[in-house]
């Protein structure tokens, strides 16, 4: 399948935007991140390495943005970047490991059903909280709580993958033919870009995660029969 | 098969022949039955008239002109099959769920209390896992709290019901 030039261009632009947004995040939220390296030498005798300059710039004047302060440290920049890359990799891993299920779930994602999935996601979050508290109260089943959360996380990743696949499918109708995984990659990078918008981006990420959880729950991880139990009858 | 021609009016034989006229026209009778029916038709003018009528029906139907659909037909059909706004069905149950969460928050002295419960839950769960590997002592049992148990039980039941309704509602929607 021939990939049109628009796709590499789009992904490159999205990655570049992600780098800039991670830089902006590291600038704005630098104060929230602790200095990552312990002092291994007594203070004052040997100067610690300058690790807080962006992109490894060793010398030169630091950039100061009006209202935002100096540019952030390389550590915070790297934290945001690796968190974004992790999200993209997890989403792609979900699509690669469960392609048929992801497709069935993605086919159910339409503008008219998003509100249904959002409501299901909110209800599922509350259910996980309530069940966790009930398991904790039983004491004996306390060990099940981490597995419950792990399954919930898996459902969030799967649902986000389905959303990325659906968004990628929509992009393919606009930009032309491309491998579905490439289109989903573009959609996932776009999602990470939005999530990296300083201060408010996490709200969008949380909303997408909740809708994704709803997609996974309502479609029962994209199973063919949904929540119908007819398959038990043979 | 013995067929009797009608003498004064349609007899039993005529009735049987007329019930097979459609099959004869469609060429779905076996050779013997078709010959018997044709033999009756040759002798019975009333049944022959019925046969001519049946034989000409397909061509007459073909000659009928399809009526033009009204201009608003497609729009009206699409409007009727489009998923209706089910905002109340979708979001309605979130209201009692939110009320239960608020009650829990009130009972635990605000959202800070809920966050503290979540933190303790994570801490206890991690400790329980460590305990299974022998890396830590077992976590202490949670003190009995009937009210909180009731609230969370109610919340779990309500959210499960809500999710089942949403799953059913999702299946009713037309497939893309």
- Domain locations along chain A: 6-225
Q: How confident is the model at residue A213 (pLDDT cuts 50, 70, 90)?
A: very high
Does B45 map to a domain?
yes
Tally of structural domains, chain B: 2
Does B130 map to a domain?
yes
Prediction ipTM score: 0.71
Between A52 and B7, the higher pLDDT residue:
A52
**Out of A123, A133, A143, whose CB is closest to B159?**
A123
Contact A217/B173, CB-based, under 8 Å?
A: no
pTM of the model: 0.68
Q: What is the pLDDT of residue A64?
A: 55
Does B69 map to a domain?
no
Give the helix ranges, DSSP H, for chain B.
12-19, 21-25, 31-43, 45-63, 73-81, 87-91, 94-107, 111-132, 146-172
Does B4 map to a domain?
no
Q: For the segment A84-123, what is each residue's pLDDT rounded down to a tens digit? A: 999 999 999 999 999 999 999 999 998 888 989 999 999 9
Contact A119/B97, CB-based, under 8 Å?
A: no
Q: Residue A94 is inside which H or E element, if any? A: helix A74-97
Instruction: Tell me which residue of A175, A198, A188 sits closest to A96, measured CA to CA.
Output: A188
Between A144 and A90, the higher pLDDT residue:
A90
Domain that residue B54 falls in: 12-63
Instruction: Say which residues have a Cβ less than 8 Å from residue B175's Cβ, sequence separation at least 6.
Output: A107
Q: For the segment B113-139, what is each residue's pLDDT rounded down to a tens digit? A: 888 888 888 888 888 888 878 888 877
Instruction: Say which residues have a Cβ less than 8 Å from residue B29's Cβ, sequence separation at least 6.
Output: B20, B23, B37
Q: Which two tokens stand for residue A206?
A: 């949380």
Does B56 map to a domain?
yes
Q: What are the backbone dihedrals phi and psi of residue A64, each rounded to the nearest 5 degrees, phi first?
A: -125, 120
CA distance, residue B69 to nearest chain A CA (Å): 29
DSSP state of A59: S
Chain B residue set in contact with A, beta carbons under 8 Å: 82-83, 86-87, 90-91, 93-94, 97, 101, 117-118, 120-121, 124-126, 128-129, 132, 139, 141-142, 145, 148-149, 152-153, 155-156, 159-160, 162-164, 166-171, 173, 175-176
Does B114 map to a domain?
yes
């Amino acid at each position: 399948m021939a990939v049109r030039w628009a796709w590499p261009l789009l992904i490159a632009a999205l990655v570049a935007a992600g780098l800039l947004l991670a830089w902006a995040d590291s600038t704005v939220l630098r104060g929230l991140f602790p200095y990552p390296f312990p002092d291994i030498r007594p203070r004052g005798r040997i100067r610690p390495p300058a690790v807080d300059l962006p992109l490894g710039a060793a010398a030169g004047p630091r950039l100061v943005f009006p209202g935002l302060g100096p540019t952030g440290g390389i550590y915070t920049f790297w934290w945001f970047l690796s968190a974004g890359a992790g999200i993209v990799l997890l989403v792609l891993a979900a699509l690669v490991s469960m392609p048929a299920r992801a497709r069935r779930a993605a086919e159910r994602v339409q503008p008219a059903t998003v509100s249904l999935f959002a409501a299901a996601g909110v209800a599922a979050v509350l259910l996980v909280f309530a069940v966790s508290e009930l398991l904790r109260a039983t004491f004996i089943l306390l060990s099940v709580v981490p597995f419950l959360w792990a399954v919930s996380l898996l459902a969030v990743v799967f649902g986000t993958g389905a959303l990325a696949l659906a968004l990628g499918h929509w992009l393919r109708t606009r930009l032309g033919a491309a491998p579905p995984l490439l289109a989903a990659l573009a959609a996932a990078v776009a999602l990470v870009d939005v999530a990296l918008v300083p201060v408010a981006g996490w709200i969008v990420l949380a909303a997408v995660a909740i809708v994704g959880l709803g997609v996974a729950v309502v479609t029962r991880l994209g199973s063919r029969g949904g929540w119908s139990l007819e398959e038990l009858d043979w | 098969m013995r067929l009797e021609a009608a003498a004064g009016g349609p007899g039993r034989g005529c009735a049987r022949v007329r019930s097979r006229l459609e099959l004869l026209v469609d060429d779905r009778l076996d050779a013997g039955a078709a010959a018997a029916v044709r033999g009756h038709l040759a002798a019975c003018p009333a049944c022959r008239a019925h046969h001519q009528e049946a034989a000409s029906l397909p061509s007459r139907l073909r000659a009928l002109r399809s009526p033009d659909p009204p201009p608003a037909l497609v729009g009206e059909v699409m409007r009727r099959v489009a998923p209706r706004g089910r905002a109340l069905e979708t979001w309605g149950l979130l209201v009692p769920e939110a009320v239960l969460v608020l009650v829990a928050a009130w009972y635990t002295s605000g959202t800070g209390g809920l966050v503290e419960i979540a933190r303790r839950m994570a801490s206890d769960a991690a400790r329980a896992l460590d305990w299974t590997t022998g890396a830590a002592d077992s976590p202490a049992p949670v003190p009995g709290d009937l009210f909180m148990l009731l609230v969370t039980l109610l919340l779990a039941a309500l959210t499960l019901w809500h999710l089942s309704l949403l799953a059913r509602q999702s299946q009713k929607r037309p497939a893309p």
